[in-house]
Amino acid sequence: MYLQNFSLNEDELEIIGYRGHTCEICLINHPLAVYVRRLKNGREAPQDGQQELLQIVPTKHGCDFQRALAISSLPIETRKVMIADLNKRLPESVMNSVNGWTKNQNGLISFEVRAEIKSGFSSDLFPEKESHWSVRTIKNRRTAFKSDEEMMDFICSASNATAGLFNVHTDSKKNGYNYPYFIAIYPTHIPGVQ
């Protein structure tokens, strides 16, 4: 069950990604969609070259109380094993949702975030090769995944989500890149997005 804290029609929203959630009460994995309001056709572009801020609309998990009630009688050790298994399988759940959303046509896009990011809000990456998805994406601003394993590595690096802030440290640059990068999965089949 997905709870949405907004009152918009589904046709007014567009998925921009997912974040994984494991519910320890009803013992289920949920890749929760993250939406933005869909821009209306014919809507005027912002003036003076300013970008319009997109309103992000996340979904929240709502427990299936009948399932939770049935599961509540399980021994604690059994629940712990089930939760560990769900956590292990969460990246795959997110990847399956992404592949459905993007029709298996996805890649990565990035941009530099020229701001000081507080500790804990970004992840440090230490790629060993220039062919790593983070380095390719930063150099080219976008890249395709080379394999499902590479996509899974990204999802795990982004804490079971489809976007994240990364500090990329490489040997080819003494201290890596100067600023964190926002890197996200995007559907490559959308017209006008290359």
* pLDDT tens readout for residues 123-160: 999 999 999 999 999 999 999 999 999 999 999 999 99
Question: Which residues of the chain have a pLDDT value below 70?
Answer: 1-11, 39-54, 119, 172-176, 190-194
Euclidean distance between CA atoms 91 and 36, whole angstroms:
23
Largest CA distance in the chain: 62
pTM for the model stands at 0.81
C-alpha distances (whole Å) from 136 to each of 116, 139, 157, 158, 160 are 23, 5, 15, 16, 21
Euclidean distance between CA atoms 180 and 111, whole angstroms:
9
* Contact of 37 with 97, CB cutoff 8 Å: no
Which residues fall within 8 angstroms of residue 150, CB to CB, at 6 or more apart? 133
* Contact of 161 with 155, CB cutoff 8 Å: yes
Euclidean distance between CA atoms 26 and 63, whole angstroms:
6
